A and B are shown apart, each in its own frame.
Chain A
């Protein structure tokens, strides 16, 4: 059972826990964006970074295991600078209007949404090609959760993957074909894990667009709209 120090608090935890899990057991709060209990941790958002004595660089607490004798700081100056900058860059890149959790982090870290002026944003049109959900990738933070649950973390359907690279990365289908033309089985798992409203139930989307609820029942009754989108 490793014994470690997190923010001056000495704790003992079970073997095999990550620093994040260990910290949470003791109500030490570490922010996360990409981490989700249902998906394999990829350590990619880097919001959960912490400073560990003896390590040159910040470490992602969602993947690094708690080890005996570790001294961890979850709130140092370096940690805060990284988190604040990541949040500011995120706000300059995507639409966070439907991400209340990330907005909460923004105010917690005094991150300014206007920190990066004249920044190229990932702006794309809403993809409305199936009766189940819409895809609004201008809101996508590239947490990879949807791709993971569609693949080996849950559904083994492999309907979605990535297009582009670097900043221009986007979640997408084979040659951008509409969802109904893919192997998608409309299980809705991706919608369930999406943290930003980039994937949203069609009904919720339509209500937000001001469509009356009684109309939605008609539009959402399967067949017809599916056939329509296949043609497009």
Chain B
């Protein structure tokens, strides 16, 4: 190990050291970029420069899937084997590619050039089966060649309304000139923070990240907290299996989320903002950096308020708001006990607002149109437009922008609306076995739910979580036991391990689901699944464990798996 030259590392570390421990993830990313992995002397050097205990640095490296403390190939092929890709033969592709390199999944070929990994959802479900090779998205899989096309993943957008996605779909990011000169932000500068918050409240905006919390009330909480500095965080961790809408917004229209952040910062009095981008979206970085530079040049960002991008490193749990703060602080992504809540004790223990990308993209719309015009979109109780991520067994997977209130049937008609597809329209009932709603943390629906209106209130009444807008379709030929096994594996892989119900429950649940999928169910397994499921739901510390059995329990309740 002594032959590792630490000189280049010593040159770059001082920049990160300025941020103290908070610079840890960026420093590890930079170090890994240079050395390919994180050998012990490199980790020690980072620890010393940032004044972080050695054991803690190791703990952080160990927590995040994308950090390696062992050598890996120059080319890392991450093949998604999650729910939507599994439907498109991902396991077969993975084993084929591994065989070609003479390795098992998660190993490095003998020549040391290539590592092949099986990955949780990459946020490319509209391109399933998808992969990520180093920093490039891999889409348009060609089964005859067993290969993908690398490069910017196409945005597949279908619309009944065009508020959030009007700039999307150009095949590149909208420039500042195309986006416009932040008119909504200019309007807020003539308004008091209180009146900005009042408009967001009046618009009835609720969070699109999964928890559906009223945005205006959240902002008010942080605005009223009288401690400074305050922070604004954009949650771009998008790791819920089946979710890819934020990817499209960030790639195609980055100024929309930046303008939303500028307005939110003005409303709550934040000087510093972060965009926490999931580590599996590295290809979004350049365009986003470029948009931030444009916004700085135009004077929208600068001394008063500026934004830093933080890249995650492979951990679904870091989408949970408090785990995300820990991650920015340079720690393992362990969720915190709530209360206290982020609005008073968030990032660096300071008052913080954290919002999802799509939530923030609604903000310029509300301010530009005014709350009452905004409320013309959608329904009375669920105002506004909504992005749905439709994937699985549909003719046209993609992001669907619709006003709240269309029915699931209307949405799926659009998604199967290819007139050459015999499954379009009226045969939906015959086609659909189940629909996973809201993501891995969501619940299953069946064709009996097709006429439910897609609003918060109607879905709640139907017992379906809107979650992050996932609608994943499974046709009649699918063996849902396989899907449940995939979901089980996802949660076992992503549990942070802090609290007992989820740490052990996700593992035990995955084991049982796997043997059920293999047709090797043991007597008592259904009772075990119920006890594990309810214990995780009822007693886990954070939302991950609380929802890790939700899809499984819903499938059992609907009788979707035949055992």
A142 to B496, CA, bound (A): 12
Q: Is A46 an interface residue (CB 8 A)?
A: yes
Contacts of A84 in B (CB 8 A): 531
Beta-carbon contacts under 8 Å, A149-165 to B? 151, 158-165
Q: Is A12 an interface residue (CB 8 A)?
A: no
Knowing A49-B539, A116-B508, say if A166 contacts B499 (CB, 8 Å): no
Query: Contact size class for B?
Result: 35 or more
**How many A-B contacts at CB < 8 Å in the complex?**
152
Q: Is B186 an interface residue (CB 8 A)?
A: no
Beta-carbon contacts under 8 Å, A205-223 to B? none
Contact of A118 among B54, B500, B515, B540 (CB under 8 A): B515
Q: Is B156 an interface residue (CB 8 A)?
A: no
A168 to B507, CA, bound (A): 9
Beta-carbon contacts under 8 Å, A28-55 to B? 33, 42-47, 49
Contact of B501 among A82, A142, A164, A168 (CB under 8 A): A82
* Contact assessment for B532 and A85 in the assembled complex, using a CB-CB cutoff below 8 Å: yes
Q: Is A117 an interface residue (CB 8 A)?
A: yes
CB distance from A73 to the nearest CB of B (A): 13
Knowing A44-B499, A164-B62, A166-B495, say if A158 contacts B56 (CB, 8 Å): yes
Contacts of B408 in A (CB 8 A): none
A144 to B511, CA, bound (A): 25
A85 to B506, CA, bound (A): 13
A42 to B499, CA, bound (A): 9
* Contact assessment for B546 and A119 in the assembled complex, using a CB-CB cutoff below 8 Å: no
Which of the 9-residue segments A2-10, A128-136, A169-177, A189-197 touches chain B? A169-177
A165 to B120, CA, bound (A): 15
A40 to B546, CA, bound (A): 23
Q: Is B450 an interface residue (CB 8 A)?
A: no
Q: Is A70 an interface residue (CB 8 A)?
A: no
Knowing A86-B535, A117-B522, say if A166 contacts B58 (CB, 8 Å): no
Kindly name the residue among B53, B493, B528, B546 whose own CB sees the greatest number of chain A CB atoms within 10 A.
B53
CB distance from B518 to the nearest CB of A (A): 12
Kindly name the residue among A42, A165, A168, A172 whose own CB sees the greatest number of chain B CB atoms within 10 A.
A165
Beta-carbon contacts under 8 Å, B398-453 to A? none
A195 to B23, CA, bound (A): 35
Contacts of B214 in A (CB 8 A): none
A92 to B62, CA, bound (A): 24
Contacts of A88 in B (CB 8 A): 531
CB distance from B497 to the nearest CB of A (A): 4
* Contact assessment for A81 and B500 in the assembled complex, using a CB-CB cutoff below 8 Å: no
Contacts of A182 in B (CB 8 A): 54-55
Q: Is A89 an interface residue (CB 8 A)?
A: yes
Knowing A82-B501, A166-B495, say if A174 contacts B54 (CB, 8 Å): yes
Contacts of A164 in B (CB 8 A): 62, 497
Knowing A57-B539, A115-B528, A117-B522, say if A86 contacts B500 (CB, 8 Å): yes
Q: A44-B541, A45-B500, A46-B540 are in contact. List 20 more A-B contacts (CB 8 A).
A: A42-B337, A46-B501, A78-B534, A82-B539, A85-B534, A89-B508, A115-B528, A158-B56, A160-B55, A161-B55, A162-B62, A162-B332, A163-B59, A163-B62, A165-B62, A166-B496, A166-B497, A167-B497, A168-B497, A174-B58
7 smallest A-B Cβ distances: which pairs? A158-B53, A161-B59, A161-B55, A174-B54, A167-B507, A169-B497, A89-B504
B contacts, CB < 8 Å to A: 40, 43-44, 47, 53-59, 62-63, 69, 315, 332, 337, 492-501, 503-508, 511, 515, 522, 528, 531-532, 534-535, 537-541, 546
